[in-house]
C-alpha cells in the first residue's frame, strides 16, 4: 500500500468530496444534473452520518480517495450536529423540482432495500452503511485497509453479524471476495421512462468475534 495514504475520521471539510464519491458510486448523474447529484450526495452522506457509529476516510495528497461508514445498530444514536446537517441537506433538495423528483425516486430504492432486509427475517448487529474507493486508487490496498478497520471495530464491539445494501452499479465482487454472502436480490426496470433495469442486492456475513479476557 502507498504509505503516503493517511487514514482518519471524517471531518466537515471532507463533506463535499465524499458527496461526489457517493454521487459517482451510485451514478446519480445518470438521473439528474451534476448540481442536483452533488446535493443528493450530501443528503445521502447526512443520512449515513445520522446512523453510523464508525467512519474512516483515506486521503492522498489531501484528497479523499476512500471512505467507509458502519453502524453498531444497538448502540446507534443521532447527534444534534448530524441531525441539523440532514435537515439542511433535505431542504436543499426540496427547493427544486428536480430535487424533489430525485428524492422520490431514491425513497423508492430505499423501500426496495428495506423489503429485502425484512424478507430475510433475520436480526443483525451491524451494518456497513457505505464503502467506496476512487477508481484511480483501487488495487493499492486502500479498500482492504478501510474494510479491515471496520471489521476490527465490529469485533471489538462484539458484533456477530452485519449486512449491507448494494446494486449492479457497484463493485459488489469485492464483498464476495471477502466472504460476504448475497442473501437477497430484487430487479426493477424503469420502463416506460427508461430502458434500463437495476438489480438491488442484500449481502450479509457472520463475524468471528474474539473473546476478550477480563
Domain regions of the chain by residue span: 6-160
The sheet that has 63-72: what strands, in order across it?
6-8, 54-60, 63-72, 126-133, 161-167, 197-206, 181-189
pTM check: above 0.85: yes
Nearest CA-CA partner of 41 in 12, 70, 16? 16
Q: What is the pLDDT of residue 30?
A: 86
* CATH T-level assignment (fold) for domain 6-160: Aminopeptidase (3.40.630)
Q: How far apart, in whole angstroms, are the C-alpha atoms of residue 47 and residue 95?
A: 18
Q: What is the pLDDT of residues 124-176, one digit of tens each?
A: 999 999 999 998 888 889 999 999 999 999 999 999 999 999 998 788 889 99
Amino acid at each position: 500500500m502507498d504509505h503516503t495514504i493517511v487514514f482518519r475520521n471524517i471531518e466537515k471539510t471532507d463533506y463535499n468530496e465524499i458527496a461526489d464519491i457517493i454521487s459517482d458510486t451510485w451514478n446519480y448523474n445518470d438521473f439528474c444534473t451534476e448540481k442536483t447529484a452533488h446535493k443528493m450526495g450530501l443528503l445521502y452522506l447526512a443520512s449515513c452520518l445520522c446512523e453510523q457509529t464508525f467512519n474512516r476516510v483515506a486521503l492522498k495528497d489531501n484528497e479523499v480517495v476512500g471512505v467507509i461508514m458502519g453502524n453498531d445498530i444497538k448502540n446507534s444514536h443521532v447527534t444534534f450536529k448530524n441531525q441539523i446537517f440532514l435537515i439542511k441537506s433535505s431542504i436543499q433538495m426540496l427547493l427544486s423540482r428536480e430535487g424533489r423528483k430525485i428524492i422520490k425516486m431514491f425513497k423508492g430504492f430505499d423501500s426496495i432495500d428495506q423489503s429485502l432486509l425484512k424478507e430475510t427475517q433475520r436480526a443483525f448487529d451491524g451494518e456497513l452503511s457505505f464503502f467506496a474507493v476512487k477508481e484511480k486508487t483501487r488495487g493499492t490496498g486502500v479498500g482492504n485497509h478501510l474494510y479491515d478497520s471496520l471489521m476490527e471495530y465490529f469485533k471489538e464491539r462484539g458484533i456477530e453479524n452485519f449486512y449491507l445494501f448494494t446494486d449492479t452499479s457497484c463493485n459488489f465482487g469485492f464483498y464476495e471476495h471477502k466472504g460476504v454472502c448475497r442473501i437477497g436480490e430484487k430487479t426493477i426496470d424503469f420502463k416506460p421512462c427508461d430502458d434500463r433495469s437495476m438489480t438491488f442486492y442484500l449481502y450479509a456475513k457472520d463475524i468471528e468475534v474474539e473473546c476478550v479476557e477480563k
